[in-house]
Copies of this chain bind each other. A is one copy, B any other.
Amino acid sequence: MGYGDAVDGGPLTRAHAAQLDRADRLGRFRDRFEHGDGDRIYVDGNSLGRLSHDARAALQATVAEWGTRLVTGWHDWVDLAGRAGDALGAAALGARPGQALACDSTTVNLYKLAGAAVAARAGAIVVPADDFPTDRYVLEGLAAAHGRELRMLAGDPIAPLDVEAVAAAAQGAALVVLSHVNYRSGALTDMAAITPAVQTAGAFVLWDLCHSAGAVDVPLDASGADLAVGCTYKYLNAGPGSPAFLYVAERHLPELRSPIQGWFSQADQFAMGPRYEPVAGVGRFLAGTPPVIGLAAVMAAAEMLAEAGIAAVRDKAAALTGLAVELHDERLAGLGFSLGTPRAAVDRGSHVSLRHPDAWRICRALIEHANVIPDFRRPDSIRFGLPPLYTRFTDVWDALDRLAALVEAGVHERMPAEAARVT
């Protein structure tokens, strides 16, 4: 039974949500995560995912391994970035082995891959104007350093990227960087359609998977994608600032070189020879010593996701966000809200964006007076991230119910106006 069946028709009662939880074939994964937060409803896993027992155990085991094995641990750790990359590739990215690494931050990985692509091909760099800031800033820097045009692609604030518009912007470009799921709207772009359109226009396509890896299926190999990067601290639940990942399609490995020529990418690394010569494989995109302890949590995350299966995760993401959309229509639309996320499940990732002119104060009131933890994105969006592995349908129902009740009672009107903040 798909998740969608049980929400068809009828009023959206909490009993319906509870029925969905009972039927949830991923429901057993919730207890694999640490909660212990009583009445709190956490819907910010799109910013920082929960701690799993598996991740905690993997981190502890690796710390213990450091203590006992010391430097001899490197016999196993030396290829951990590649093994974790392969595990992510299989579980989350639709990538065959030998094309992914877990290492560095998303920002540094984007810099390495985009820098390699721009060095290999002439032309502009294209990025949507509303893409995540670090992507735009990194590309702005690379465009200036390489003397390239930076084309900012305007788009609809809610809808997925339009294939024809992206293909038009890609004409004569070296590189097009796109988010698979938009960080604000949750809109899911059709990777299988856009990838060949960009390539036909002559550019590399580099996918930012931060908001899709672990939330929806990512068809990197199947779509013929060139490059990708993403983080593991959102839907992959590997912890705050955990190692990110990168993907380079095997066919591009011979032609692409990292601008950061570090010793972990060197052929015959411990010969410590006079000249840099990168390894043939994806390891050429490593830089410094890999973060061994952090990689343990990435490996645990990939293993849990493989156990759950990304197809089931994707189905549940559609159902959870679908329930949120329906509750928005029923409970919030009359309170000044509008939906900041596509209505078609096929066009969404695993978070929904609820727009309201007073979103900042509503978000604060939710946290301080309703014990619901979402996040806010300027200018007017409240994001509800609904990671399928540990979010219940009743969590969605309760969170939206508390939100509606709070706005109906005007609780947010007593909150201070927006000031500088850090999350």
Q: Which residues of A pack against B, CB within 8 Å? A: 34, 36-37, 42, 44, 47-48, 50-51, 55-56, 59-60, 63, 66-68, 70-75, 77-78, 104-108, 111, 119, 129, 132-134, 136-138, 140-141, 145, 152, 231, 233, 239-244, 259-264, 266, 268-276, 287-295, 297, 373, 375, 377-378, 420-423
Is A288 in contact with B48, judged by CB distance below 8 angstroms?
no
Indicate whether A105 sits within 8 Å of B272 (C-beta atoms), given known contacts A263-B137, A293-B239. Answer: no
Complex: chain B residue closest to A111, CB-CB: B260
Are B59 and A63 in touch, CB under 8 angstroms? yes
Q: Which residue of B lies closest to A74 (CB)?
A: B423
Whether A240 pairs with B292 at a CB distance below 8 angstroms is: yes
Contact B71 A44 (CB under 8 A): yes
Known interface pairs A240-B293, A293-B239; A105-B287 also in contact (CB < 8 Å): yes
Q: Is the CB of A261 within 8 A of B141?
A: yes
Task: Assess the A378–B108 pair: CB atoms within 8 A.
Answer: no
Asked whether, in the complex, the Cβ of A373 is within 8 Å of the Cβ of B239, the reply is no
B421 to A373, Cβ gap below 8 A? Answer: no
Give chain B residues whose Cβ lies under 8 Å from the Cβ of A422.
74-75, 78, 269-270
Q: Are A270 and B71 in contact (CB under 8 A)?
A: no
Knowing A291-B291, A291-B294, A293-B240, say if A105 contacts B104 (CB, 8 Å).
yes
Q: Provided the pairs A241-B290, A241-B291 are in contact, do residues A138 and B261 lie with their beta carbons within 8 angstroms? A: yes
Q: Which 4 A-B pairs have the closest CB atoms?
A: A105-B288, A107-B288, A51-B67, A107-B262
A47/B71 contact (C-beta < 8 A), A105-B289, A141-B259 known: yes
The answer to whether B56 touches A67, judged by C-beta atoms less than 8 angstroms apart, is yes
Known: A141-B259, A271-B378. A71 touches B290 (CB 8 A): no
A183: min CB distance to chain B, Å: 9
Measured in the bound complex, the distance between the Cα atoms of B270 and A375 in whole Å is: 12
Q: Which residues of B contact A152 (CB under 8 A)?
A: 274
Contact A75 B134 (CB under 8 A): no
Q: Which residues of B contact A56 (CB under 8 A)?
A: 63, 67
In the assembly, what is the distance between CA of A345 and CA of B250, in Å? 51
Report 20 cross-chain contacts, Cβ distance below 8 Å, ordered by A residue: A37-B68, A42-B70, A44-B70, A47-B71, A48-B70, A48-B73, A50-B67, A55-B63, A60-B60, A71-B373, A71-B375, A71-B423, A74-B422, A104-B288, A108-B260, A133-B273, A140-B261, A141-B259, A145-B259, A242-B293
Residues A72 and B263 in contact, CB atoms below 8 Å apart: no
Q: Which residues of B contact A134 (CB under 8 A)?
A: 262-264, 288
Check A293 against B292 for contact (C-beta < 8 Å).
no
Query: Provided the pairs A71-B375, A263-B134, A373-B72 are in contact, do residues A240 and B287 lie with their beta carbons within 8 angstroms?
Result: no
| Contact yes or no, A104 B106, CB < 8 A | no
A304 to chain B, nearest CB (A): 15
Q: Which residue of B lies closest to A237 (CB)?
A: B66
Cα distance, A318 to B269, chains bound together (Å): 31
Instruction: Verify B67–A36 contact, CB threshold 8 A.
Output: yes
Additional A-B contacts beyond A74-B422, A104-B104, A107-B263 (4; CB < 8 A): A34-B68, A66-B240, A77-B241, A133-B269
